[in-house]
């Protein structure tokens, strides 16, 4: 993706919602408050911020959960730092960890780098692009120290139902394991999709939730994520991050406060984008049903498209980027060949044109393949 994402015109592989601008954020405020808010931001001294995140931001984030308070929140440099801190505080070499696969690579590669025994909980074509909790139960042993869950799931769009999430928590509890809920796609509901499970942090002391403003808020440039967990674990992670990034950016923290305080408005914006793009993608898949199949996302923004062409996914993704200026992520990056990852968070006009161009490319390749066969 890094070879093409800064050059293509039609990035329809992006894993987050369409990014917001600073002006978009300020527009969330009542008209009479915007000028004063801008003045406060412009006058903000750009010194070090409070190391664990300001009390205001931690309080706003804590209020999104059914339990806990600001002392159970640690603001981090994105979810990536939150996960890294947790793995390094919770795990020792030889611990047994269960992580979803495919997934954001960090979720299984960092535990492996620590020296853990990692079992992969498969979510893909063989499971109907759904979580199989029976398969998880077969992976659990008395040695299991940590279960990692990513719901909604990247890259398939699978979701744990509320009942299945409670079952996962009970399974972890039965062996004394902790659950790390990578909830990067929280608040990104899909029309006609599945109900979201309760955040794992809200389920009890064995549950930890990791959140981010990147995917669901369209604010990846703020680099704001967080941990919601037991106070002692949060303090330990805070101590470890002193050796890594020290504190969030002060301006980032201030802008994040605006976003979290007005997240309902952001959810409304996102719903409009998701609704439009899901309808476009559904029509596109129906028009190309002899060549393409998919399981639409049940939550979040991502789905895998399976294609019937004799071309490896990396080669096809390169061809789309170079010849059509369209970005679709190769399924081989996630362990599933002859798939492409689609993201439905892009600006609707760009999304529609990107799919149209991709469809033209697919049709040409299909014709060429048929000619070769005859």
Read out DSSP for 275-330?
Answer: HHHHHHHHHHHHHTTTTEEE---SSSSEEEEEE-SSS-HHHHHHHHHHHH-EE-EE
Read off the pLDDT of residues 130-176 as tens digits, 9 standing for 90 and up. 999 999 999 999 999 999 999 999 999 999 999 999 999 999 999 99
Q: Can you tell me the mean pLDDT for 120-131?
A: 93
Specify the pTM.
0.94
Predicted confidence band of residue 78 (pLDDT cuts 50, 70, 90): very high
Question: Could you list the residue range(s) of the whole structural domain that residue 209 is in?
Answer: 22-261
- Does the pLDDT value for residue 371 go beyond 70? no
Examine the domain organization and report whether 231 and 279 are in the same domain.
Answer: no
Examine the domain organization and report whether 204 and 347 are in the same domain.
Answer: no
Q: Evaluate whether residue 239 is within a structural domain.
A: yes
For residue 71, the domain's CATH number is: 3.40.640.10
Q: Can you tell me the mean pLDDT for 354-369?
A: 93
Q: Can you tell me the mean pLDDT for 310-321?
A: 96
Last residue of a domain, one of 227, 242, 261: 261
Examine the domain organization and report whether 120 and 158 are in the same domain.
Answer: yes
Helix (H) or strand (E) holding 211: strand 207-212
Examine the domain organization and report whether 111 and 237 are in the same domain.
Answer: yes
Last residue of a domain, one of 246, 261, 276: 261
Examine the domain organization and report whether 303 and 361 are in the same domain.
Answer: yes
Question: Exposed, middle or buried: residue 332 (CB in 10 Å: 0-12, 13-18, 19+)?
Answer: middle
Last residue of a domain, one of 227, 261, 295: 261
Predicted confidence band of residue 362 (pLDDT cuts 50, 70, 90): very high
Q: Dihedral sign, CA of 88, 90, 94, 96? A: negative
Examine the domain organization and report whether 271 and 223 are in the same domain.
Answer: no
Q: Which pLDDT belongs to residue 22? A: 96
Examine the domain organization and report whether 34 and 166 are in the same domain.
Answer: yes
Examine the domain organization and report whether 51 and 167 are in the same domain.
Answer: yes
Q: Can you tell me the mean pLDDT for 20-36?
A: 95
Read off the pLDDT of residues 186-198 as tens digits, 9 standing for 90 and up. 999 999 999 999 9
Q: Which pLDDT belongs to residue 297? A: 94
Q: Can you tell me the mean pLDDT for 202-212?
A: 97
Predicted confidence band of residue 103 (pLDDT cuts 50, 70, 90): very high
- Does the pLDDT value for residue 1 go beyond 70? no
What is the number of structural domains in the chain? Answer: 2
**Closest of 305, 185, 299, 234 to residue 72, by C-alpha:** 234
Q: Evaluate whether residue 1 is within a structural domain.
A: no
Residues 6+ apart with CB under 8 A from 50: 247, 253
Contact 25, 217 (CB under 8 A): no
Q: For strand 73-76 and strand 225-228, is the pairing parallel, antiparallel, or unpaired? A: antiparallel
């Amino acid at each position: 993706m890094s070879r093409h994402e800064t050059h293509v015109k039609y990035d329809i592989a992006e894993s987050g919602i369409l990014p917001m601008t600073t002006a978009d954020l300020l527009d969330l405020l009542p008209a009479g408050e915007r000028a004063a808010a801008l003045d406060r931001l412009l006058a903000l001294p750009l010194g070090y911020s409070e190391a664990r995140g300001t009390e205001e931001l931690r309080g706003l984030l804590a209020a999104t959960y059914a339990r806990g308070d600001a002392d159970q929140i640690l603001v981090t440099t994105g979810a990536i730092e939150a996960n890294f801190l947790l793995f390094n505080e919770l795990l020792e070499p030889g611990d047994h960890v269960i992580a979803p696969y495919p997934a954001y690579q960090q979720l299984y590669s960092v535990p492996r780098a620590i020296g853990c025994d990692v079992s992969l909980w498969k979510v893909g074509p063989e499971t109907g692009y759904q979580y199989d909790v029976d398969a998880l139960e077969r992976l659990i042993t008395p040695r299991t120290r940590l279960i990692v869950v990513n719901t909604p799931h990247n890259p398939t769009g699978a979701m744990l139902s509320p009942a299945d999430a409670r079952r996962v928590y009970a399974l972890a509890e039965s062996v004394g394991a902790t659950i790390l809920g990578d909830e990067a796609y929280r608040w990104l509901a899909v029309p006609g999709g599945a109900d979201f499970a309760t955040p794992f942090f809200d389920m009890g002391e064995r549950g930890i939730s990791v959140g981010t403003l990147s995917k669901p808020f369209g604010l990846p440039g703020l680099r704001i994520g967080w941990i919601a967990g037991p106070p002692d674990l949060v303090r330990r992670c805070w101590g470890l991050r002193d050796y890594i990034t020290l504190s969030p950016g002060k301006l980032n923290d201030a802008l994040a406060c605006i976003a979290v305080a007005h997240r309902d408005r952001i959810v409304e914006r996102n719903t409009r984008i998701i609704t439009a793009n899901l309808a476009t993608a559904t029509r596109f898949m129906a028009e190309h049903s002899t060549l393409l199949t998919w399981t639409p996302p049940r939550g979040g923004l991502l789905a895998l498209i399976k294609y019937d062409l004799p071309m490896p996914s990396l080669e096809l993704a390169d061809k789309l980027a170079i010849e059509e200026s369209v970005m679709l992520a190769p399924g081989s990056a996630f362990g599933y060949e002859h798939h492409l990852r689609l993201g439905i968070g892009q600006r609707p006009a760009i999304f529609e044109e990107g799919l149209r161009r991709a469809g033209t490319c697919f049709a040409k390749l299909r014709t060429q393949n048929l000619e070769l066969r005859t």
